[in-house]
């Protein structure tokens, strides 16, 4: 009989409300990259929770302000169901309670970072950056000589003549002549 730790292997579904435009862009980016929104959040939220753990707790007054911000106009919000590991969901709930941060606001802030980055820090959203890199993987990777990819696949005829001369000099033979 195998015993299973239910808190680490089971999943739970949570519902959050995100700004509709961010929810839509998040869905478009994850879909366009061929990755699951839930899988991405399951893999990355633990690190984000480590960052949240390092933030001082808000006061009750600050919590009331943040709650009012979250519960504002629902017309521009999208309801999102997210399946997370029970362990991650419990840790997130516990930390949000300890830090007096509404869970929806924490997730909304993280999704906003994933899609928009941090303009104040000149940081492009990670999902946007990955999308651009996959559309053109070499867009940032040109050689210091200033030439692009596949330059080594072009051999000028002069180089072949030099190669022939070198082969004759070294081995007394030429490369086979092909058209």
Q: How many domains does the chain have?
A: 1
26-37 as b/e, with b when 16 or more CB fall inside 10 Å?
beebbeeeeeeb
Contacts of 131 by beta carbon, 8 Å cutoff, 6+ apart:
29, 32, 33
Domain assignment present for 111: yes
DSSP string, 103-167: HHHHHHHHHHHHHH-BGGGTB--HHHHHHHHHHSTTTT---TTS--TTGGG---HHHHHHHHHHH
What pLDDT, on a 0 to 100 scale, did the predictor assign at position 45? Answer: 97
- SS3 label, residue 24: helix
Going residue by residue through the chain, which has 179 residues, state the pLDDT in tens, using 9 for 90 and above. 444 444 456 999 999 999 999 999 999 999 999 999 999 999 999 999 999 999 999 999 999 999 988 877 667 899 999 999 999 999 999 999 999 999 999 999 999 999 999 988 888 899 998 988 888 777 666 555 566 667 777 778 888 788 888 888 888 776 666 54
pLDDT for res 6: 47
Find out whether 103 and 35 touch, Cβ atoms under 8 Å.
Answer: no
Does residue 157 belong to any structural domain of this protein? no
Residue 109 falls inside a structural domain: yes
In this structure, is residue 115 part of a structural domain? Answer: yes
Cα→Cα distances 31→18, 105, 110, Å: 17, 23, 18
Global pTM value = 0.74
Does residue 147 lie within any of the structural domains? Answer: no
Could you tell me if residue 37 is inside a domain?
Answer: yes
Residue 171, judged by CB atoms within 10 A of its CB (0-12, 13-18, 19+), counts as: exposed
Q: Which domain range does residue 87 map to?
A: 9-135
Tell me whether residue 68 is in a domain: yes
Q: How many other CB atoms sit within 10 Å of the CB of residue 176?
A: 5
Q: How far apart are the first and last CA of the chain?
A: 70
Q: State the pLDDT at residue 4.
A: 44
């Amino acid at each position: 009989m195998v015993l299973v730790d239910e808190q680490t292997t089971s999943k739970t579904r949570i519902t959050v409300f995100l700004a509709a435009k961010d929810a839509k862009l998040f869905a478009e980016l994850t879909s366009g990259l061929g990755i699951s929104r839930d899988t991405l959040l399951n893999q990355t939220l633990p690190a984000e929770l480590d960052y949240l753990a390092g933030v001082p707790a808000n006061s009750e007054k600050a919590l009331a302000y943040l709650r009012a911000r979250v519960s504002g106009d629902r017309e521009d919000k999208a309801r999102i169901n997210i399946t997370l590991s029970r362990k991650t969901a419990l840790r997130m709930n516990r930390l949000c309670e300890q830090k007096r941060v509404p869970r929806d606001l924490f997730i909304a802030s993280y999704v906003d970072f994933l899609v928009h980055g941090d303009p104040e820090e000149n940081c492009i959203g990670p999902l946007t950056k990955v999308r651009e890199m996959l559309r053109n993987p070499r867009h940032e990777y040109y050689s210091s000589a200033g030439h692009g990819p596949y330059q080594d696949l072009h051999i000028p005829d002069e180089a072949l003549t030099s190669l022939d001369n070198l082969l004759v000099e070294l081995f007394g033979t030429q490369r086979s002549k092909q058209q």
